[in-house]
Amino acid sequence: MDVTQNLQQIQTEMKAACQKSNRNFEEITIIGVTKYVTIERTREALQSGIINLGENRLEGFREKYQHFGNEAIWHFIGSLQTRKVKDIIDKIDYLHSLDRLSLAEEIEKRAQKPVKCFVQVNVSGEESKHGLKPDEVMSFINDIAHLTKISVVGLMTMAPNTDDKELLHNVFRELRILRDKVKESNLQHAPCEFLSMGMSNDYPIAIEEGATHVRIGSKLVGS
């Protein structure tokens, strides 16, 4: 399937999820995750109208950025080693994996301008997953209030790889409730309007629970 066909199918399902949850389709951003695919396939994604691209590794990001630097809005969605911050921080538009103070402090030191960050939360509690525990999020956000280069625009999570729909609803709902709590705190450095959640297997459920940014790889650019 070409990317345009995949995108049409995804958008149809997104619209159905919006209708079900009484949401506005226009407020949801699709991030095309190109980590598995070639430059050619990435170009196809851009041509199909995807302008937000996500990469989870430095090498992949570099390669795609070299080709399409000016043509896309760049989301770094993988965990970021502190010592790699300086290499990418001024090239990306959004970081989805802010999960520790040392990383925030390195960004403060290296970034030329404020960076739009999602705080990554390990809602499911799986050991393999990065992110803060839900009950650590509020104090973490308070701890970075003095950093002038960090703007917490939202929260991000990765759900378990499962077909258990109820579990998925619960994970996404918990992140939304946490987002609401941060947002209602009215912190200047943490407007926290957004929810980055939902991937190829679970984006309709994430949208029903309030996702504003879905990160879709295999279903969009896979074969």
Ligand X SMILES: *Cc1c(COP(=O)(O)O)cnc(C)c1O
Task: List residues bridging with 95 in a β-sheet.
Answer: 76, 117
User: 97 vs 189, which CB is nearer to ligand X?
Assistant: 97
Residue with tokens 């050991």: 127
Q: How far apart are CA 174 and CA 180, in angstroms?
A: 10
Q: How far apart are CA 34 and CA 121, in angstroms?
A: 22
**Could you say whether residue 217 binds ligand X (CB under 6 A)?**
yes
User: 147 vs 217, which CB is nearer to ligand X?
Assistant: 217
DSSP per residue over 57-85, as a string? SHHHHHHHHHHHTTTSEEEE-S---GGGH
Length of the chain: 223
The CB-of-89 to ligand X minimum distance in angstroms stands at 18
**Could you say whether residue 216 binds ligand X (CB under 6 A)?**
yes
Site stretch for ligand X (CB under 6 A), options 110-118, 142-150, 187-195, 215-223: 215-223
Residue with tokens 């925030």: 104
Give the one residue of 3, 7, 10, 33 binding ligand X; rule: CB under 6 A.
33
Site stretch for ligand X (CB under 6 A), options 20-28, 98-106, 180-188, 196-204: 196-204
Give the one residue of 23, 35, 149, 179 binding ligand X; rule: CB under 6 A.
35
Q: How far apart are CA 183 and CA 164, in angstroms?
A: 29
- Per-residue b or e along 4-15, where b marks 16 or more CB atoms closer than 10 Å to that residue's CB: eebbeebeeebe
Site stretch for ligand X (CB under 6 A), options 61-69, 137-145, 179-187, 199-207: 199-207
Question: Total residues contacting ligand X (rule CB under 6 A)?
Answer: 14
**Could you say whether residue 77 binds ligand X (CB under 6 A)?**
yes
The CB-of-97 to ligand X minimum distance in angstroms stands at 7
Token pair in block for residue 109: 């030191």
**Could you say whether residue 17 binds ligand X (CB under 6 A)?**
no
What residue number has its CB nearest to ligand X? 217
Who's near 31: CB < 8 A, 6+ residues apart?
Answer: 52, 53, 54, 75, 77, 196, 213, 214, 215, 216
Contacts with ligand X, residue ranges (CB under 6 A): 33, 35, 56, 77-78, 158, 199-201, 215-219
